[in-house]
Structure 1
Amino acid sequence: MTVTPRLGRAGTSEQIHYLPLVLINLATLFSAIGNGISMVVIPWLVLERTGRATDAAIVAGAAAVPLLIASLFSGTLVDRFGRRRTSLVSDALSAVSASAIPIFAVTSGLSIPVIAALAALGATFDPAGMAARESMLPAATRAAGWKLDRTNSLYEANYNVAYLIGPGVGGVLIATIGAVSTLWVTAAGFVLSIIVVAFIRLADAGTPDPGLRPASIWHGTLEGLKFVWNNKLLRTLALVDMAVVALYMPVESVVFPVYFTELDQPAQLGSVLMALAIGGIVGALAYAPLAPLMSRRLIMICAVGVLGVAMLAMALLPPLWVILVLAGLQGLVYGPVGPIANYAMQTRSPEHMRGRVVGVMTSTAYAAGPLGYLVVGPLLDQLGIASTFVALSIPIVVIAIVCAALPVLRELDHP
């Protein structure tokens, strides 16, 4: 997809190519739809068998641990083997792991340990593909003649579209064909991503320059960790994101599934996750026009604060329509946070290290996840859903107050 040439800075003609940006977003859409379906199906499989929130939390935690480790090393794989190649291999392995659950179901059977092991295996392969596609965004942005804020706004909105489609489709498919069969659709999403990525052509997407490749997986990962830690802004964003994700991730993966399983309403679970995604789409798309007019720092502080307050309101366990409004509000205010984090990574990392920076920043978001899952399961069993919402939301409000006092976040608005 090419349009009329534009005049370059030196008076030369530069072709504008939108196709790489379209393909990256399309591959991300297919892959994330598959993951969005799994988000509903995996806890549902567990709760169908035992009905215990602690078991659902254990399985979610089992998937979170390899997700953390794989995310940490995934960026080094991208920088060492190339962005397109890493994305293709990652999606192929994810498709195989998603297919394993229905295969086990009709052969040896599914127990909780088997589900946990297969969920962990699937989580191991996803981060490399995500890091690879995200690392291609700056080059695709240059090819399209866009600004990074606009690209990141579209990319994060697209991601939320996937999580609008995935959980909703997952809830409906569970109610119609069953949870096990639904995972074949997850595998199909990864296959479609493979097909799309195969057509991406970007100068920085192939095999990296041998002189710039990390010497080894371990050495390259350490370089990425040191780079992020030594950059005050990236370090602060990583720590804030880690804390917020650890507190909020169990809500989507454990608290909501438990609540709607008790009501025997899988479609309602899907609708709440869809409301979150719709809000996220609108919030992410709104970021592009907001970025030139409003402080990125202020947008981020408001996002974290309103997220915590909306979660606190859910502790009242209001009617479904109120929960949907609150979920949409959470997605709306938090939608710009992803584009802001992407902007910080893209403008503060050298080209040959971008995969590692993305990988490290992604891994920190999941670092406290296993602890959050292990705490939330017993909280639900002992205190109930309302008290668990309170216990998770108050720390998020405190984080927003701390962010307002951090001068380093003012760098988000520096050129």
Structure 2
Amino acid sequence: MTATTATAARRYTPLVLINLATLLSATGNGITIVALPWLVLAQTGRATDAAVVAGAATLPLLLSSLFSGTVVDRFGRRRTSLVSDFLSAVSVALIPVMAATAGLSVGIIAALAALGAAFDPAGISARESMLPAATRDARWSLDRVNSLYEANYNVAYLIGPGIGGVLIATVGAVNTLWVTSVCFALSILTIAFLRLDGAGTPDRETRPESMWSGTLEGLKFVWHNRLLRTLALVDMAIVALYMPVESVLFPVYFTERGEPAQLGWVLMAMSIGGVIGALTYGALAARVRRRTLMLLAVTALGGCMVGMAFLPALWVTLTLALLVGLVFGPVGPIANYAMQTRSPEHMRGRVVGVMTSTAYAAGPLGYLLAGPLIDAVGLRITFFALSIPVLVIAAVCFTLPALRDLDAPVADSVDTRIH
């Protein structure tokens, strides 16, 4: 095959469509991160209520994400993405509908937030499971594709909170949620045009026999792989300690100051750093060990969180937020690489689903502890209580031999080479 023929065989369309759908869906979720806490705080002014809604939006993720991979492997990646986004769009639209009819309470907002969040993991798992096939079509390396995908994901959380903050200030938190529904609808339209090997209904021979047995197979596979098991446990701890900062602590802080736009700026700064960090990973992957980047990320995250706990001037907070995104940008691509190269094709959805569910497992506990702790001892002490343990986790990571497997040779279950 000549170089010209090989170049002509490249297909970038699947990669473009997957990234565009991810951008649209994640942008909608980025808007919701700002809109829901603001909606609750505007009604009650209580941090505990905001934490309850944040926890309600996270709690279903544990169960739904655990089974989401089995849904993907059983019903197909493209179909799962379409149905997931449709159900998410409907559930989010119900919040402004209820506001205009029966009225909203904290309980109703929490219930609808939980319903909407329950459908997200299946769509995420479906799109991530299609990346290796899109990689082969584009004839890129997995590191390069994962770098682009995670940067794109961070762009969504750069756009989403910014749009959310501006819309809240202009049309209110309730009407802002209509934009989230539109984002999901556009994601559906994008995936409707996708044609990709392995994205359709799986062969009967490789499908999970049932939702329960398929999920158990995914859990066993991840647990028996020491690298995936270690990444899952570290991620659980980090999520429990860090996510309340974005979804509870900062919303409370900027609500008290009456500055919704500045909440959006901080979240945008994290996403800008994440975009730069993820894209930089694509260039660094061939030169720097993945374990080194992982250790740097966790250590810097702990240090930046401690700095934020002092509640410094806005420009300092923005700088720290940018740094958090910058050093943590490569973590997503690294985790994706580990899942893609350690899982067989027919189990990829389940592996992604299980790994995603472990990230959500400790989230509700973090949210539900953060709100009452703020009301009891104040924002600053709560910030330190969440920050210092991250530094302890970083120290432990230096001693974990499993992280060395990030740089170990793997079987070519997918083609990881640049052609």
Q: Same fold (TM over 0.5)?
A: yes
Matched, 1:254 2:248: yes
The equivalent of 1:196 in structure 2 is: 190
CA contact (8 A) 1:101 1:115 kept: yes
The equivalent of 1:276 in structure 2 is: 270
Shift of 1:4: 5.0
Matched, 1:364 2:355: no
Q: In the aligned structure 2, how far is the partner of 1:16 from the partner of 1:162? A: 27
Shift of 1:367: 0.3
SS of 2:339's equivalent in the other structure is helix
Correspondence 1:49-64 to 2 at 5 A: 49-64=43-58
The equivalent of 2:412 in structure 1 is: none
Sort the Cα spacing of 1:4 and 1:104 in 2 relative to 1 into closer, same or farther, 3 A: farther
Letter in 2 for 1:220: G
Identity of aligned residues (%): 72
Correspondence 1:22-33 to 2 at 5 A: 22-33=16-27
The equivalent of 1:305 in structure 2 is: 299
The equivalent of 2:381 in structure 1 is: 387
The equivalent of 1:72 in structure 2 is: 66
Shift of 1:384: 1.4
State TM-score, norm by structure 2. Answer: 0.96
Equivalent position to 2:141, from 144, 147, 153: 147
Matched, 1:375 2:369: yes
Letter in 2 for 1:6: A
SS of 2:140's equivalent in the other structure is coil
CA contact (8 A) 2:21 2:188 kept: yes
Q: Deviations over 1:69-95 (max 9, x none)?
A: 110000000000000000000000000
User: Which stretches of structure 1, 4 residues or longer, exceed 2 Å deviation after superposition?
Assistant: none
Shift of 1:374: 1.2
Q: In the aligned structure 2, how far is the partner of 1:326 from the partner of 1:402? A: 23
Equivalent position to 2:179, from 185, 191, 210: 185
Q: In the aligned structure 1, how far is the partner of 2:269 from the partner of 2:378? A: 23
Equivalent position to 2:121, from 91, 102, 127: 127
The equivalent of 2:108 in structure 1 is: 114
Equivalent position to 1:285, from 254, 279, 288: 279
Matched, 1:355 2:349: yes
Matched, 1:6 2:22: no
Q: In the aligned structure 2, how far is the partner of 1:274 from the partner of 1:410? A: 32
Correspondence 1:172-251 to 2 at 5 A: 172-251=166-245
The equivalent of 2:155 in structure 1 is: 161
Shift of 1:263: 0.5
Q: In the aligned structure 2, how far is the partner of 1:178 from the partner of 1:224? A: 42
Matched, 1:171 2:161: no
Q: In the aligned structure 2, how far is the partner of 1:387 from the partner of 1:281? A: 30
Shift of 1:64: 1.0
CA-based RMSD: 1.0
CA contact (8 A) 1:5 1:16 kept: no
SS of 1:299's equivalent in the other structure is helix
State TM-score, norm by structure 1. Answer: 0.97
Letter in 1 for 2:84: S
Q: In the aligned structure 2, how far is the partner of 1:190 from the partner of 1:220? A: 28
Q: Deviations over 1:124-179 (max 9, x none)?
A: 01110000000000000000000000000000000000000000000000000000
Residue segments in structure 2 that go unaligned for 5+ positions in a row: 410-419
Shift of 1:247: 0.5
Correspondence 1:400-411 to 2 at 5 A: 400-411=394-405
Q: Deviations over 1:277-310 (max 9, x none)?
A: 0000000001011111111001001100000100
Shift of 1:5: 2.7
The equivalent of 2:84 in structure 1 is: 90
Matched, 1:100 2:87: no
